[in-house]
Amino acid sequence: MPERWRRYIRFWGPDVDADIADELRYHVDMRTAYYRESGMSDAEARRAARQSFGDLDAVTRQLRDHDRRNLRWQRRADMLQDLMQDLRYGLRQLASAPRFSVAVIAVLALGIGANTAIFSVIDAAVIRPLPFAAPDRLVSVSNVEVPWELSGRHPKSAPELADFRADSAAFSRVAVYARGSLNLAGGTEPVRTQIAYVTDDFFRTLGRTTAVGREPVAAEFKRGGPKVVVIASSLWQQQFGGERSVIGREVTLNATRYTVVGVMPPNFRFPAGVDLWIPLALPFGLDIMEAFRNFLPSEGIARLAPNATVAQAAQHVDALRRRYRTVTKDDAPVTDLVRPLQTTLLGDRRAGMNILAASALLLLLIACANVTNLMLSRAATRRREIAVRVVLGATRGRVIRQLFVEGALLAVGGAVVAVLVAAVTMRLLVALLPPALAAIAPPTIDGRVLAFTLVIALATSLVFGVWPALGLSRVDLGSAMKLAGAGGGGSRRRGAAHGVLVIAEVSLALMLLIGAGLMIESMRNLLRENSGVRPENVVTGRLTFPGRKYSSRTAVPEFLNGVLARLRAPGVDAAAVSALPMEGVGGIGLRVAPAEAYDEAHAAMGLFLIATPGYFNVIGARLRGSDLPATADTAHKVAVINETLAKQLWPGQDAIGKQMAFGPERRTVIGVVGDIRTRRLDDTAQGQLYLPMSEQAQSYASIVVRGSADSRALMARLRDAVRVDDPNLPVYQMRRMDEVIAASIAPRRTNTILLVLFGGLAVLLATVGVYAVLSYGVAQRTREIGVRVALGAQRSDVVKMIVGDGVRLAVIGVTIGLLGAYLLSRFVASLLYGVSPQDPRIFAAAAIALAAVAGAAAWIPALRATRVDPITALREE
Amino acid sequence: MARTKGDLMQGTLGMLILKSLAAGDLHGYGIARWVEDVTKRSLAIEEGSLYPALRRLEDKRWVASRWEISDTNRRVRVYALTRAGRAQLETEASVWMDFARAVTLVLRSEPSLA
C-alpha cells in the first residue's frame, strides 16, 4: 500500500509548491540541454524549451490547485485512519481487561448519570423555554384586582386590570386567569374538571392559539354574550374521542350550558392541569363563583412592553398599588410584584436544584478521581506495552492520543449507561419540579440532555485521562523494557498521585456526607415536632356540595352532622373542617384585632377556618379552654384561635375569654389551640382562627376520621356514611393524614433522598478508592515488606504501617472536607429546617463515620501485607 | 476547421502516457521524449499538458509516482505504471485498435453510389 507509506517519506508531509517547481524546472532544463546539444546558444535553447513546454505558469497553477486539494484530502483520510486504528486498538485493550472496563464504566455511569438526571430537571425548569411565544418577555403580575359587579360599593384595595392595561410603558398585554373546578357533562362520562376563567387577551398574551376551532371572540367576553369554552387537548382525547366534530358541541358545566369553540394544542396546559378555558366577562357577576368556593383567586400574567425590563414593570405596579387603599406611610416599596413567569412557576425550588446540581458535580469529581486511580494502577501494568510501542516508532503525541481515545471510549460507555439510569429515575425526579411547571414542561431526555451528557462524558475523560497519559508517555524505555523494572523509577511519584486523589475523594465525599446528614436532620426535625397534629390513624376525604341541592343555610350542617354521627363508633371519632391542614390550601386571611384596641397597630393576620366540635381532638391538636360549640349562638359568637394569633393579639396574656374583632363583628375567644401547619409541613406558623361550622357552613368540607381500624376500612366507612344520605355525592381526595403531610413536603423529601443517595455513593467510591490505593501500595511494596519481616518486623508492625498510610490519607482528606463543608454550608442553609448548616454534631458524626470506613478499607490490604512470605518476596527479584 | 493531428492527440494523451510507461518507469521529460521518438515527431504534443494528464492518471491510480535522485544529483519525480494502469492500457489499446481498424476499413472501401 504505497498510499499508507507515502506520508513517511517526507517527515513533514510533501511541500507541494517545491515539488511542482522542481519537477517542471527539471523538464525545462532537460529540454534546454537537448536543444543546446543540437547547436543552439544558451539563450536560444532556453527560449525554445519554454516555448515547447507551453504556458508554464498556467500549468504550475493547475498542478498546485490539484496537489493542494489532494494533500488536504489525504491528511483527512490519514487522520481518520489513525483514529479508527486507535479506536480498534482501544476497544481491544478494554476488552482484554473486562473487570477494569466494567468497573470504570460503572463508576462513570454513577457520576455522569447523576448529572444527566439533575440536568434534565434543570433543563425543564430553567433552560428550556416555556412553550409560549417569546417566553422570556412573559411575567407574572401580583396585585391585579379583577373588577366585579358589586365592587363599586367597597373601597378598592388594589389596582384593576384596566389600570395595568393602560400602562403601555410597562406592558404590551395583560391578562388575568382564575382557577377553579366544575363538573363537566356532555362528554363520554361526567367528570370533575379543572377550569380557568380567562380574560380576553389571555391566549394572545401567551402567544398561543387553538389547534382546532377558534379562540373566543370579543362578544363572548361580554356579559350576557354566548357562553363558550376552549378545551385542552387531553380532555378532547379522553372525552370527545379527538374528533373535530367537537367544535360546536354543547357541554354542561355544573348545570350551565356552554358551546365548545376550540381545542388547544397538546403541549398547552396553562395554568397547570387545566382542562377548560372559559371567557371571563368583566366586571364579573356572582354566577361564576360556584367554581371558586366564593373567592376568586386571580393571577395576572403580562407581556412586557418592548424595551421594558422586569424591574421597571415592577416599579410601575408598585406605584399603582400605592395609589390605592390604605397604604400607610411607612409601607415599604414592594419590588417583586412583577417577576418572570418562569421564576414564578419555579417557585422556591431553585435553591434545591442548585444544591443537587452542585452535589452531582461533586459526585462526578469523586468518580473522576476514582477512575483516575484505576487508570493509574492499570497504567503501571501497561508500561512495557507502551515502551514497546514507543520503541517501534510511536510518537509521544500518538501514545497520548491513544490513551485519550481509550478514556473517551470508557466515558462514552459510562454515558450510555448513565442515560439509561437517568431515564429510569425520571419518575422520581419529576417531584423536584413544582406541579405547575411539571405539567407545562416535564423533564425528558431530549437532544439537549443527550448533548450535555456527551459533553460532560468527554470532559470527564479529559480529566481522568490526562494524568495517566502524561505519566505513561514519559515512560523510561530502559527501565520499562527490563523485565524486573515493572515497579521501577516512577512508582514514588505515582504513589504521591494516588495519595492526592484519595485525599480529594475523601474530602469531597465528606462534604456530600455532611450535606446528606444536614438534610436527614432537617427531615427528622420536621417529622418529629412540627405538624401540630397527630396523623397516625387518621384518614380524610373531601366533599363539595352542589349549590342547588344544598342551597338552604342549614342543609350542609345537617348533612354533615348526620354523616359524622354515623361515622362515630367505639374507637372511631370523626369531625369536619373547611380546609385540611398541609393540603396546600391556605384559607382566607382576615385582619383581626383585639376588641379593646381595634386599630392597625394591634391587628394581625388570621387565616379563617370552620370546624365542627371535636375537630381538634380528631386531628390530634392540643386545645386549651373550650371546644367549638355544636349549635350556633348568634347572640354570643365565639372562636378558637391558635397560639400564634393569641401571642400576636395579646402578647404575654391569656387569650381565653378575650374579645376579638374583625370589621363590626365581635367574638369571644373560648379556646387556644396549638399551631397547626397551614399549607405545608415546612411552613412557618401562621395565625389561625376557627369558627363553628354550625353558623358558617360552606359548600365544601374535609372530613377527618380517627380510628384504630385499618385505614382502608376507615375510608370505606367514610364513603358508606356519605352514600347513605346522598348516593350521588362523591368523596374525593381520600388519603391517610400522614400521606397528606408527606405529600406537602414531597420536593424536600426528593431532595433529601437524592442527597443521601449522592452522599452514600460518594462514601462508597471514596472507600473503594482508599482500598484500591492501599492494595496497590502493598503490591508495589511486597519486597520491602518481605525485607522488613525478614529483619524481624512483627505482623502488628506491618499492619500499623499500612493502616497508618490509610489513616494519614483519610485524616488529611477529612480535614480538607470539614473545611470545605464549613465554607459551603451557607449555600445549603435555605434547604435546612431546624438545624444549623454548621451543626457540629453532624460535622463530627460524618467525619468520624468516613474516617472509620476508610480505616476499615485499609485493614484488608494491611492483612494481606501480613501474609507476605519474605522468602517468596525476595526471590521474585 | 479541419482537425489537426495535434487535436486528435489530446483525447488519447492518457493512453500514450500509459503506453510510454509500459516498458519502464520514466520522468515527465522522459515521457515527452519517448512520445517524440516513437511518433517520429509526427504528433505535436504540448509538453506542459503532460503534467495535468499525469495527475489525472495518478488520481485514477493507474500511475504512481515517487521521487528519486538523478545522476546530476537533482530530485526527479518518476512515474510508474500500476497493475490497474496496465490493465487499463490493454483495454484502451484494444478499443483503439478496433476503432482504428473499423475506420480504416470504411475509408478503404469502394464508394458505393447505389
Rounded Cα distance, A113 and A145, in Å:
47
Task: Label residue A185 exposed, middle or buried (CB < 10 Å: 0-12, 13-18, 19+).
Answer: middle
How far is the CA of A250 from the CAs of A221, A226, A237, A288, A369, in angstroms? 18, 12, 16, 18, 65
Q: What region does A610 belong to: left with phi over 0, alpha with psi -120 to 50, or beta?
A: beta
| Amino acid A214: pLDDT | 92
The confidence band for A424, taking pLDDT boundaries of 50, 70 and 90, is confident
pLDDT of residue A526 exceeding 70, the answer is: yes
Q: What is the 3-state secondary structure (H, E, C) of A630-678?
A: CCCCCCCCEEEEEHHHHHHHCCCCCCCCCEEEECCEEEEEEEEECCCCC
List pLDDT tens digits, range A603-614. 888 888 889 999
The helix/strand count (H/E) of chain A reads as 28, 21
For A350-354, what is the mean pLDDT?
80
Q: Tell me how far apart the alpha carbons of residues A272 and A259 are, in angstroms, rounded to a whole number.
A: 23
Interface check for B67 against chain A (CB to CB < 8 A): the answer is: yes
Kindly list the residues from chain A whose CB atom is less than 8 angstroms away from the CB atom of residue B52.
59, 62-63, 66
Q: Which of A220-224, A475-479, A486-490, A632-636 has the lowest mean pLDDT?
A: A486-490
pLDDT category of residue A45 using cuts at 50, 70 and 90: very high
pLDDT the model gives residue A60: 92
d(CA A267, CA A556): 40
Residue B34 with chain A: CB contacts under 8 Å: none
B32 at interface of A, judged by CB pairs closer than 8 A? yes
- Residue from B10, B13, B29 to probe the interface with A (highest A Cβ count within 10 Å): B29
Closest partner CB to B46 (pick from A22, A54, A62): A54
Alpha carbon distance A692, A557 (integer Å) = 10
Q: What pLDDT is stored for residue A787 in this prediction?
A: 84
Which of A63-67, A220-224, A551-555, A708-712 is most confident? A63-67
Across chain A, what does the average pLDDT equal? 82
Whether residue A616 is predicted with pLDDT greater than 90 in this model: the reply is: yes
Spell out which chain A residues touch chain B, with contact meaning CB-CB distance below 8 angstroms.
2, 9, 19, 22-24, 26-27, 30-31, 34, 52-56, 58-59, 62-63, 66-67, 70
Query: What is the nearest CA distance from B76 to chain A, expressed in angstroms?
Result: 6
Cβ-nearest to A27 among B29, B46, B75: B29
Answer whether A145's CB lies under 8 Å from A337's CB. no
> Who among B28, B48, B59 is closest to A55 (CB)?
B48
Cα–Cα distance measured from residue A120 to residue A127, given in angstroms and rounded to the nearest whole number: 10
From chain B, pick out residues whose CB is under 8 angstroms from the CB of A19: 67, 77
Select from B33, B43, B51 the residue whose CB has the most chain A CBs within 10 Å, as the one to mutate to test that interface: B51
- Shortest CA gap B1–chain A (Å): 22
Name which of B29, B49, B51 is nearest A30 (Cβ-Cβ): B29
- Chain B hits for A52, Cβ within 8 Å: 46-47
Say what the pLDDT of residue B82 is.
94
pLDDT score of A264: 93
Which residue matches cell numbers 504521591? A496
The tens digit of pLDDT for each residue in A768-788 reads 888 888 887 787 777 788 888
Q: What is the DSSP letter of A314?
A: H
The bridge status of strand A276-279 relative to strand A228-231 is antiparallel
Closest CA to A195 of A203, A183, A206, A185: A183
In the structure, what pLDDT confidence band is assigned to residue A647 with cuts at 50, 70 and 90?
Answer: very high
- Give A-chain residues touching B67 at CB under 8 angstroms: 9, 19
Residue B103 grid coordinates: 475506420
Cβ <8 Å between B77 and A27: no
Here the cell at position A328 is 400607610
Do the chains contact at B48 and A59, CB–CB below 8 Å?
A: yes
Look at residue A641 and tell me whether its pLDDT is greater than 90: yes
Highest mean pLDDT among A309-318, A548-557, A653-662: A653-662
Measure the CA angle with vertex A231, ends A228 and A233; round to 5°: 160
Cβ-contact A146, A134 below 8 angstroms: no
Sheet holding B26-27, edge to edge: B26-27, B75-81, B63-69
pLDDT at B4 over 90: no
Q: Which pLDDT does position B2 carry in this prediction? A: 39
Comparing C-alpha atoms, which of A646, A630, A651 is closest to residue A688?
A646
B69 touches chain A (CB under 8 A): no
Q: Which of A40-54, A120-134, A629-643, B94-108 has the lowest mean pLDDT?
A: A120-134
Query: Residues B7, B10, B16, B21: what is their CA dihedral angle, to the nearest 10 degrees?
Result: 140
Instruction: Return left, alpha or beta for A377; rule: phi > 0 is left, psi -120 to 50 is alpha, else beta.
Output: alpha
Q: Are A573 and A584 in contact (CB under 8 A)?
A: no
Beta pairing partners, A642 = A673
Residues of B in contact with A31 (CB under 8 A): 29, 32, 47
Residues 6+ apart with CB under 8 A from B105: none
One-letter identity of residue A748: R
Asked whether residue A566 carries a pLDDT value surpassing 50, the answer given is yes
pLDDT for residue A797: 84
Residue A235 has pLDDT above 80, yes or no: yes
Which one has a higher pLDDT value, A461 or A149?
Answer: A461
Task: Please name the member of B47, B55, B77 whose beta carbon is closest to the beta carbon of A66.
Answer: B55
| Mean pLDDT of all residues in B33-50 | 81
Instruction: List CB contacts (< 8 A) between B51 and chain A.
Output: 23-24, 59, 62-63
- Which one of B34, B77, B83 makes the best mutation probe of the A interface by having the most chain A beta carbons within 10 Å? B77
Four-CA torsion A748, A753, A754, A756, nearest 10 degrees: 120
Report the alpha-carbon distance of residue A557 to residue A577 in Å, rounded: 11
A873 pLDDT above the threshold of 50:
yes
Q: What is the pLDDT of residues A426-448, one digit of tens each?
A: 777 777 777 767 777 777 888 88
The residue of chain B with its CA nearest to that of A7 is: B66
- A chain contacts of residue B80, beta-carbon cutoff 8 Å: none
Which residue from A227, A254, A258, A256 is spatially nearest to A699, judged by alpha carbons? A254
* Backbone phi and psi for residue A394, each to the nearest 5 degrees, phi listed first: -70, 135
CB atoms B77 and A22 under 8 Å: yes
B52 has a chain A CB within 8 A of its CB:
yes
Query: Do the Cβ atoms of B48 and A58 come within 8 Å?
Result: yes
Which residue of A26, A55, A66 to mutate against B (max B Cβ within 10 Å)? A26
Could you report the per-residue pLDDT of A445-493, keeping only the tens digit for each? 888 888 888 888 888 888 777 777 776 666 666 665 554 444 444 455 5
Give the one of A26, A59, A62 whose C-beta lies nearest to B76's C-beta.
A26
* Cβ contact, residue pair A24, B51, below 8 Å: yes
- Nearest CA to A248 out of A234, A237, A258, A235 is that of A258
Query: Is A156 a residue whose pLDDT tops 90?
Result: no
Task: Please tell me the distance from the alpha carbon of residue A876 to that of residue A871, in angstroms, as a whole number.
Answer: 9
Q: Of A22, A30, A54, which is closest to B48 when you measure between CB atoms? A: A54
At B7, the pLDDT band (50, 70, 90 cuts) reads very low
Q: Identify the sign of the CA torsion A560, A565, A567, A572.
A: positive
User: In this predicted structure, what is the pLDDT of residue A402?
Assistant: 82
Instruction: Indicate if the pLDDT at residue A6 is higher than 50.
Output: no
Kindly report the number of other CB atoms within 10 A of residue A344's CB atom: 20
Residue B30's closest chain A neighbor by CA?
A: A27
Q: Do A22 and B75 touch (CB under 8 A)?
A: yes
- Given CB atoms, is B46 within the 8 Å cutoff of chain A? yes
Cis bond upstream, residue A283 (ω within 30) = yes
CA distances from A204 to A138, A209, A285, A313 (A): 11, 7, 24, 19
For residue A609, the surrounding DSSP H or E stretch is strand A604-611
pLDDT at residue number B5: 45
Q: Residue A2: list chain B partners with CB under 8 A.
A: 64
Distances (CA, A) of A572 to A430, A486, A543: 37, 78, 20
CA distance A131 to A461: 35
B49 CB neighbours in chain A (<8 A) are 54, 59
A138-141 vs A276-279, strand pairing mode? unpaired
Compute CA distances A394 → A13, A390, A487, whole Å.
17, 5, 23
Say if residue B36's pLDDT is above 80: yes
Q: Which tens digits make up the pLDDT trace of A252-273?
A: 887 788 999 999 998 888 887 7
State the pLDDT at residue B96. Answer: 87
Residues of A in contact with B48 (CB under 8 A): 53-56, 58-59
Overall average pLDDT of the A37-52 stretch: 90
Instruction: Write down the pLDDT at residue A484.
Output: 41
CA pair distance A288, A767, nearest whole angstrom: 63
Judge: A53–B52 Cβ closer than 8 Å, yes or no.
no
Nearest to A661 by CA among A594, A748, A578, A563: A594
Q: Which of B29, B49, B55 sits opposite A31 (nearest CB)?
A: B29
Extract the C-alpha cell encoding B7.
Answer: 487535436
ipTM, two decimals, is 0.86
| Among candidates B29, B33, B52 on the partner chain, residue whose Cβ is nearest the Cβ of A59 | B52
Residues in chain A within 8 Å Cβ distance of B28: 23, 26-27
Tell me how many residue pairs between chain A and chain B have CB atoms under 8 A apart.
Answer: 57
Q: Does B43 touch chain A (CB under 8 A)?
A: no
Asked whether the whole model's pTM tops 0.80, one would answer: no
pLDDT for the residue numbered A7: 46
A123-147 as b/e: b if 16+ CB within 10 A = bbbbebebbbeebebbbbbbbbbbe
Statement: residue B13 has pLDDT above 90: no
Nearest to A2 among B46, B48, B64 (CB): B64
**pLDDT tens column, B52-61:** 999 999 999 9
The three grid cell numbers given for residue B55, joined into one nine-digit string:
495527475
**Burial class of residue A303 (count of CB atoms within 10 Å of its CB; 0-12, 13-18, 19+):** buried
What is the percent of chain A where pLDDT is above 90? 17
